[in-house]
Structure 1
Amino acid sequence: MKTAEKQRIQQQFQEKMDYDELLNCMRCGFCLPSCPTYMESGKDEAHSPRGRIALMKAVVDGDIEPDEDVKRSLDMCLGCRACEPVCPSGVNYGHLLEQARDIIYQNQQQSIPVKVVRKAAFQGLFPHQQRMIGLTGLIGFYQRSGLRTVARKSGAMKLLPESMQLMEKVLPDVPTSKSMKQRQRHFQPTVPLKKRVAFFAGCLMDTVFLPTNDATTKLLQYAGCEIVVPEAQACCGALHGHSGEKQQAKKMAKRNIEAFEEAEIDYIITNAGGCGAFLVDYGHLLKDEPEWKARAEAFSSKIKDISSVLVELGFEKLPLSLQDEIITYQDSCHLKNVQKTFMEPRKLLSSIDGAQYVEMKDAGRCCGSAGIYNLVETEMSMQILDYKMEQTKATKAKTIVTANPGCLLQMKLGIEKEGLSDQIRAVHIVDLLLEAYENANSTYSNQSNSSSI
């Protein structure tokens, strides 16, 4: 960094960082065993929560300069927030991390290629769902046209880094552009009405993972929910907020608040842990804007993960069954650590007849996906994933269940990396629950038909 950049960043740290929150850290070290980067880096304090907080405070105090080492320490953080639940002082580490990253990225001179990529992604793509559909449509064309087969057989894929080769293999078969554009906006329950909810469809979830969104609305219908899907909603802004693009994240938040606040609903349902955690934090994101703060808090108070509302409505008491198999669960970091949704997924999975649920050791430890972390910090991400796959194999599970799209792709990548694609599958929890519900009810229907003949 140039001297002028360092001075500008240091001044911004002194003006914008929450110093009281920095002082809340007692340096007790309770956070250390919960931090994946600390554990995987050979217990390097610079890659621990208390170490990063100490660096932030030292920059504010003027004891050190905000140099590349400081930036590297912050960039290496997954942002999983596993340190927060174990912190006796209740330090909001995630908020401090976002503040620090935003200051650095908005005040450091970036190369032209980096500027172009960041602007294209954060301003040109994610805020515009039609562009997301267009890009996803191109991926679908690549998959369905035969280009994928040619690329793999010709050896062209070997020109890419190994991690990118694996990522291409685990991408789901994406839906057609037509199906993405013809999104149904209103659903009636298939049983007596219990709740009226809105569904936060997301950007990637409503394109690449559209079948999982469709499964979500089906489950809500079976549970007794009327569902509305506001058309004006946009990307939650999590990638922006975690990557030093706070102003763009605020724009996304305001757009979503406006899109949902006219709906007369009990809850806003999410099915992606990362999105849900950021939506819950809208009140903090907009805390300095009086005209938006109350509206943001009202919005966030209605956020509920799909697993939570299903348990509330007694979905686990309905017939659910699978063929004999062992299943395990990988927590979404943000679902567990921010939304505090931990037992509900396990309760649902344990209620499936024919499935043996086995708890994975360190199920709550990050899998290494963390948004785009596995693309920009590949070495550490793969190191973390290797540990996760060791714990997965120890369960002898044939099905790994996740609650977030990034986790799902990361676990699929781990399966592919271990050469276990013919033995283990990774699925989103709503896809598995829908499979279990429809399997059980199909079996019951067939038995009823047989007995009536």
Structure 2
Amino acid sequence: MAKTTGASLKETLSIKLDYDQLTNCMRCGFCLPACPTFQETGVEAESPRGRISLMKAVVDGVMEPNARFEDQMNHCLGCRACEPACPADVKYGQLIEQARDAIEDHTDQHRLWVKAVRKVMFKKVFPHQNRMKLLGKGLRMYQKTGLQTLVRKTGIVGVFSKQMSAMERILPDASGKGVIEQMGTRIPAKGEKIGTVGLFRGCLMDVLFTETNKNTVKLLTEAGFEVVIPETQNCCGALHAHSGETAQAQALARNNIHAFQQANVDYIVSNAGGCGAILVEYDHLLHDDPKLSEQAEWFAKRVYDVSTLLMEKGRPLQFAKQKNEEDGVRVTYQESCHLRNVMKGSGAPRQLLKRVSDIEFVEMRDAGSCCGSAGIYNLTQPDMANQILDRKMENVKTTKAHYVLTSNPGCLLQMKLGIDKHAKNDGVQSVHIVDFLHDRLVKN
């Protein structure tokens, strides 16, 4: 329950919510078909229109923000599929983050293990790259020493959460050495240099998907970019912003802006849709900080997803199926919600995939709908996340694809979970698009 009275939460919501955005909503309902939670439940309160109505009712004094109100705000995936569908251009993503920020100032509803994980990861681990490396080393030891086998046999993780146990099964091999330790901080372009790119290495990306970061660098250098990886960068702050920890997200953003300005780069590239979406909105995140507004705008306008940068700015790359691959390899693409809805990056990944010779690209039905990952949503809201994933896997199966490709680590893990649950024996793999393309790159 709330730590303070409903009136106190109401007052905080009244301060933090953008009332102009609340009144911009015309209640037209165009957002309803785009919303995953409404599609699953058919309940008005589970839609963007319904949640905005609840927010406005609280601010207008029509209702008190009780536990059910908090549940509805937290039940939103934050996929922002409603925004492209909205004729009034309501900034729903900003509203839901403002609401959650207010709720986090007052709530005590989180389950004990969720509270513990949030405190440790959000405040003590994610903001510190050296601690992320220690986490990577610890996970690697866990995976390589036999401890993982013991834990799985005893089912210890499942005591805390069945969802955590399922996620543990599909974790990739961790690394205590990130992209900088393995490649350095400055990697020259191949051939004539087109420009200088600052790689946003991420926190979990550099621990669980180090090879993807390395392959990103290799694709960029082949396309003519010099790659710089600022050592002082930190977590993007996306998980913090989406979970109501706005002040900490802002602190992380300030440090990243400084790190990349010092590097003097032409572009800032992300290979994680969730990270890229907040990076490209640092100007909004810091809009009330007059000292950094100009720098935040400088940063935001330079942010690109790696697929978009390769297509729009790089030298054309050629790809071909691997020598050991049989004919008739089929691939499909599961979109990252934030890459699609915030960064507007739907086209570039598909264009790159269609450059791979002798590979059949099959469009998935509802490829742009959320897979249920949504940061840590699949851990905090497992029932709805799994319901959405089950529907997604039905669409995957109809493609008969050998590879399900995606552009975001959370989506990648969620699709691996779906394959583990529904298609373990179907010969289908979930792979990051960068890794898929790198393995099929025809080098000059």
TM-score by length of 2: 0.94
CA contact (8 A) 1:198 1:230 kept: yes
CA contact (8 A) 1:316 1:347 kept: no
Return closer, same or farther for 1:51/1:147 CA change in 2, 3 Å cut-off.
same
Give CA deviations for 1:28-79 in whole Å, capped at 9, x if unaligned.
00000000000111x1011100000000000000000011111111110000
Greater shift in the superposed pair: 344-353 or 169-178? 169-178
Alpha-carbon distance in structure 2 between the residues aligned to 1:331 and 1:112: 31
Q: Which letter does structure 2 place at the counterpart of 1:274?
A: G
Q: Secondary structure at the match of 1:205?
A: helix
Alpha-carbon distance in structure 1 between the residues aligned to 2:155 and 2:108: 38
Return closer, same or farther for 1:142/1:76 CA change in 2, 3 Å cut-off.
same
Tell me what 2:27 maps to: 27
Q: Secondary structure at the match of 2:331?
A: strand
Tell me what 2:107 maps to: 108
Give CA deviations for 1:293-345 in whole Å, capped at 9, x if unaligned.
11111110100110011112455552433433000000000000000001100
How far did 1:136 drift? 1.7
Return closer, same or farther for 1:421/1:253 CA change in 2, 3 Å cut-off.
farther
CA contact (8 A) 2:179 2:201 kept: no
Tell me what 1:196 maps to: 196
**Residues paired across the two proteins, number:** 439
Alpha-carbon distance in structure 1 between the residues aligned to 2:251 and 2:2: 31
Tell me what 1:252 maps to: 252
Tell me what 1:18 maps to: 18
2:230 counterpart of 1:230: yes
Tell me what 1:87 maps to: 86
Tell me what 2:368 maps to: 364
Q: Which letter does structure 2 place at the counterpart of 1:409?
A: L
How far did 1:148 drift? 1.8
CA contact (8 A) 1:180 1:210 kept: no
Return closer, same or farther for 1:403/1:2 CA change in 2, 3 Å cut-off.
closer
Could you tell me which runs of 5 or more consecutive residues in structure 2 were left unpaired when the two chains were aligned: none
Where does 1:116-127 land on structure 2 (aligned, <5 Å)? Answer: 116-127=116-127
Return closer, same or farther for 1:112/1:205 CA change in 2, 3 Å cut-off.
closer
2:430 counterpart of 1:426: yes
Q: Which letter does structure 2 place at the counterpart of 1:396?
A: K
2:142 counterpart of 1:138: no
Tell me what 1:332 maps to: 336
Give CA deviations for 1:348-391 in whole Å, capped at 9, x if unaligned.
00110121000000000000000000001000000000010000
* 2:390 equivalent among 383, 386, 398: 386
CA contact (8 A) 2:183 2:214 kept: no
Tell me what 1:451 maps to: none
CA contact (8 A) 2:180 2:229 kept: no
CA contact (8 A) 1:270 1:305 kept: yes
Tell me what 1:415 maps to: 419
Alpha-carbon distance in structure 2 between the residues aligned to 1:352 and 1:182: 28
Return closer, same or farther for 1:53/1:145 CA change in 2, 3 Å cut-off.
same
Alpha-carbon distance in structure 2 between the residues aligned to 1:137 and 1:422: 33
Return closer, same or farther for 1:215/1:182 CA change in 2, 3 Å cut-off.
closer
CA contact (8 A) 2:280 2:301 kept: yes
Give CA deviations for 1:123-173 in whole Å, capped at 9, x if unaligned.
111111111111121111011112222333455566464322321121001
Tell me what 1:98 maps to: 97
Q: Secondary structure at the match of 2:81?
A: coil
Larger radius of gyration: 1
CA contact (8 A) 1:34 1:83 kept: yes
CA RMSD of aligned residues (A): 1.9
Alpha-carbon distance in structure 1 between the residues aligned to 2:110 and 2:390: 33
Alpha-carbon distance in structure 1 between the residues aligned to 2:280 and 2:180: 26
Alpha-carbon distance in structure 2 between the residues aligned to 1:412 and 1:379: 17
How far did 1:289 drift? 1.1
2:63 counterpart of 1:64: yes
Q: Which letter does structure 2 place at the counterpart of 1:123?
A: K
Return closer, same or farther for 1:115/1:380 CA change in 2, 3 Å cut-off.
closer
2:312 counterpart of 1:312: yes
Return closer, same or farther for 1:167/1:306 CA change in 2, 3 Å cut-off.
same
Alpha-carbon distance in structure 2 between the residues aligned to 1:216 and 1:183: 12
Return closer, same or farther for 1:180/1:174 CA change in 2, 3 Å cut-off.
farther
Tell me what 1:40 maps to: 40
Alpha-carbon distance in structure 2 between the residues aligned to 1:381 and 1:290: 39
Where does 1:275-354 land on structure 2 (aligned, <5 Å)? Answer: 275-313=275-313, 317-322=317-322, 323=325, 324=327, 325-354=329-358
Alpha-carbon distance in structure 1 between the residues aligned to 2:240 and 2:84: 24
Alpha-carbon distance in structure 2 between the residues aligned to 1:153 and 1:254: 44
CA contact (8 A) 1:5 1:109 kept: no
* 2:377 equivalent among 373, 380, 396: 373
Q: Secondary structure at the match of 1:356?
A: strand
How far did 1:3 drift? 9.0
CA contact (8 A) 1:134 1:177 kept: no
Q: Which letter does structure 2 place at the counterpart of 1:364?
A: G
Tell me what 1:396 maps to: 400
Q: Which letter does structure 2 place at the counterpart of 1:50?
A: R
CA contact (8 A) 2:22 2:56 kept: yes
Alpha-carbon distance in structure 2 between the residues aligned to 1:375 and 1:196: 38
Q: Which letter does structure 1 place at the counterpart of 2:342?
A: V
CA contact (8 A) 1:180 1:207 kept: no
Q: Secondary structure at the match of 2:151?
A: helix
Give CA deviations for 1:7-27 in whole Å, capped at 9, x if unaligned.
111111222211111010000
CA contact (8 A) 1:133 1:180 kept: no
Q: Secondary structure at the match of 1:107?
A: coil
Alpha-carbon distance in structure 1 between the residues aligned to 2:152 and 2:13: 48
